[in-house]
Structures are given as C-alpha cells and as structure tokens.
Structure 1
C-alpha cells in the first residue's frame, strides 16, 4: 500500500485543556480512529502523527501538552509539527510524502471542520487523492458569532462532508477507506 498514508491530525493533549472539550463524542471517535490506524498498519500504510503548536497556552510546546493523547498507542512512521491549520504547509510532511511516492491521503483526527478539513482542501489542491474519514474525526459544538445559533458536532461533520464531497475529497467510512486503500494498492502493482 505504498501509495497511501494515514494522517492522524492533532490528536493531542492540548485539547483536553480547552473550554469546549467534550468527552461525549470521544468514545465512537476513538473506536473509529483506532480501527483506522490498525487497518492502515495491517496493510502496510504509514501512519503519520501531526501535532499542532501555536501561541495559545495549551498548544505551546513549552506547555508539555503537545503530545499524542494517551490512548493513541501506535508507533507512527513519523511525526510532524504544524503551525498553521493544514498539515502540509511548512511542516515537512509534503516532501516526506513526495520522497515515498505517496499520492493518496486518508484524513482523520481532531477538529473535523478546521485542521482536518483544511488539510483535505490543501491536499486536493496539491494533487493528492483524499479520502476523508469523517467517523474518524472529532469536533465540538460551536456557536455562530452573529446569530447565536449553536451547531452540534453532528451538524458540523455533515457540513464538512457537504463542502468536501466531490470537490476536495471522497467521503468514506473506516471500512470504505481501508477497502479503497487495498484497491489502489492492487492497481499499482
């Protein structure tokens, strides 16, 4: 499966220290994320951890919180640190992928509509084939700044699928992502 890599974006302790952190959506997300990692590893695809750092206290390297959450026990092929919303800009990830001939990315991680979605958009613009594994992404309710309407995590995931599908990514389940990875590998042989 040398053409595919799994990105595990921002699954880090920093989020545990944000006021919007909500454990409610964590169990199904964690189960999907771990299944996706196990499936990618079983098929020989590199699993790449991406961590985010910026000036916000829990995201500062000095905070000691810019590290994978404890339940992530896989050994990543590599880890990159990003300072912007997407994982490909100035992190070193893109040259790493290019050097290995990787052309398909499976996107997973924390903040469905932010860093995961932004990475999918940039990856698509750079010519990568993108599988967006929504069930292996996590987000939190948000309040609209003008109307005051609260959008649930489910609504945010649905909106992300809507704007990415057919333009920037193929929206897939964990099972579909792993099947597509196998099919792409079989075609590349």
Structure 2
C-alpha cells in the first residue's frame, strides 16, 4: 500500500510575498492525484511562526487551496518545520501502524518542505517517490525556481532519497 502525502498546498503561497514561481500546472496535477488515489491520503499544513508569513494560523493564507477539496484525507495535521515527519502527528508511527512502506509526495515548496520530507522519509527507510510535476517553488537568492527544482531532483535521486516521477507515471 502506498500513501499520498500532500504537503503545504495552502492559499498563502498565492501571495506576492513569495515572488515568482515555477510549474503553473502543479495544482492541477495535485488534484488529479487526489482524485484518482485509492490508498491513504495525508494532508499536511504549514503553520508558520514568522509574523509576516501568509501561512500563519488565523490568516486566510493558512487554509488549504481549493484543489484539495477533492480529497478524502485519512489524516490531516500541521507542522511548524520543513519535514512532515516532524509535525503535530508522529507521521512515521502513523504510517508504520498501517504497514505503509511506500510514500508519494506532492506539494509546496519543491526544494523546502517536499525535499526535506523526502530526505527524512528516505532516512527512515520508506520507498519515496516525488511527483515532481505536482510540486512548485519560488526563485530564491540568485537561483530560479527551475534551477532549485533541478537541484532537488539531483539531490533526491543522486542521494538515493527518492525516485523522481511525474503524475502520468503514477496514474498510468
């Protein structure tokens, strides 16, 4: 059995605060995965502690994006750090209690919370797949969002943390 873990797909990432993003089709791919998924679904929300973040609890940006409305999640929880394995719920314990050894990740930001969750998941022994076309990120410092995504792909694949796939392959 494989769990789909959807990370931080929140309205606050539509805010100009973040700058230019890549992959405008990410939300449609996330919705397609959720619509077709037959295994367990986990939705994770980032509750930022930074006072100027649109992802702070109590702000409209903290809410999930409308594309997640097709989901019938088995688990929903919040986190304050990058890894979904370090949130309000012990995700590792939850997955193991259900005999889940395979996870697919999608969400925001590719090079932050998705990559960190993939790395921790790989370290914990899960077989991790990242649906790279169901993620996006933003330009950061002197790197474009596309460059950061390419670096994430190289880090995860080259480091043996995760297999990089696309939505069509997963739904194939």
TM-score tier by shorter-chain length is: 0.7 to 0.9
Equivalenced residues, count: 167
- Equivalent in the alignment of 1:175: 168
- Equivalent in the alignment of 1:141: 139
1:61 aligns with 2:72: no
Say whether the 8 Å CA contact 1:52–1:66 is kept in structure 2. Answer: yes
- Equivalent in the alignment of 1:88: 85
Give a deviation string over 1:120-179, Cα, whole Å, max 9, x none.
Answer: 000000110000111010111112xxxxx3x22221111110111051001111122345
For the aligned residue pairs, the C-alpha RMSD in angstroms reads 1.8
1:15 aligns with 2:13: yes
Instruction: Give, in angstroms, the shift of residue 112 of structure 1.
Output: 0.2
- Equivalent in the alignment of 1:154: 146
Instruction: Give, in angstroms, the shift of residue 71 of structure 1.
Output: 2.7
Partners of 2:135 and 2:21 in 1: CA distance = 14
Instruction: Give, in angstroms, the shift of residue 21 of structure 1.
Output: 4.4
The DSSP-based 3-state class of the residue aligned with 2:112 is helix
Say whether the 8 Å CA contact 2:30–2:67 is kept in structure 1. Answer: no
Partners of 1:133 and 1:52 in 2: CA distance = 19
Q: Runs of at least 4 residues of structure 1 off by over 6 A?
A: none
The DSSP-based 3-state class of the residue aligned with 1:50 is strand
Larger radius of gyration: 1
Say whether the 8 Å CA contact 2:23–2:135 is kept in structure 1. Answer: no
Structure 1, unpaired ranges of 5+: 144-148, 180-189
Partners of 1:90 and 1:60 in 2: CA distance = 15
Say whether the 8 Å CA contact 1:10–1:110 is kept in structure 2. Answer: yes
Say whether the 8 Å CA contact 1:36–1:178 is kept in structure 2. Answer: yes
Partners of 1:81 and 1:16 in 2: CA distance = 19
Match of 2:68 among 66, 69, 72: 72
Structure 2, unpaired ranges of 5+: none
The DSSP-based 3-state class of the residue aligned with 2:120 is helix
- Equivalent in the alignment of 1:165: 157
1:34 aligns with 2:28: no
